[in-house]
Amino acid sequence: MIAYVTVGADDIAAARRFYTAFLHALGYDLDEGPEGLSFALPVPAGERPVSPDFYVKPPFDGQAARAGNGTMTAFEAPSQAQVRALHAAALAAGGKDEGAPGFRPDYGPRFYVGYLRDPQGNKIALFSSNPNEPGRDD
C-alpha cells in the first residue's frame, strides 16, 4: 500500500491556493506547518488509512523544487461533473491546463480525466470512472 506521496514546491502559498482548490472538495483535510502542507483523508478512530496522504514541501536538500519527468499524481472524483468543476477551480487557483476533462481513446471507456500542472510544474490528474455515468461509447 502506498502510504504517502510528496511533491516539491518552492512557493508554498501558491501551492496551497492550487491544492485547496480541489482537495478540500474531495474530502482532504489540510494541516500546514513549517515543513509545508499535509493533506489527508479523515480516518475513523481505530481504523487505518486506506488512501495515501499527500504532502507538498520544499525539498529537504535545500535545492530548488523540480517536477519529475513522467511523474504524475491522480486524484479520483465521484463524478464527471466534479472532475470538470475541480479542473476549472484548479486552473483559477494558478494551475496550468495539460488536457481538458474528457475521455481519452487510449484508456477504458469509463475513464474520464482532466490533467493539470501545479504552480511548480508537478503533473496532476483528476479522474472519475463512475460506472453509473455515461461512458465514452454510450
Could you report the per-residue pLDDT of 102-125, keeping only the tens digit for each? 999 999 999 999 999 999 999 999
Q: Average the pLDDT over 82-102 and give the result.
A: 98
Residue 137's pLDDT band (cuts 50, 70, 90): confident
pLDDT of residue 1 exceeding 90:
no
Burial of residue 101 (CB within 10 Å: 0-12, 13-18, 19+) is: buried
CB 126 within 8 A of CB 77: yes
Domains and CATH numbers, the chain: 4-60+69-128 (3.10.180.10)
Distance of CA 136 to the CA centre of its chain: 23
The predicted-structure confidence for 7-30, as pLDDT tens digits, reads as follows: 999 999 999 999 999 999 999 999
Q: Average model confidence (pLDDT) for the chain? A: 96
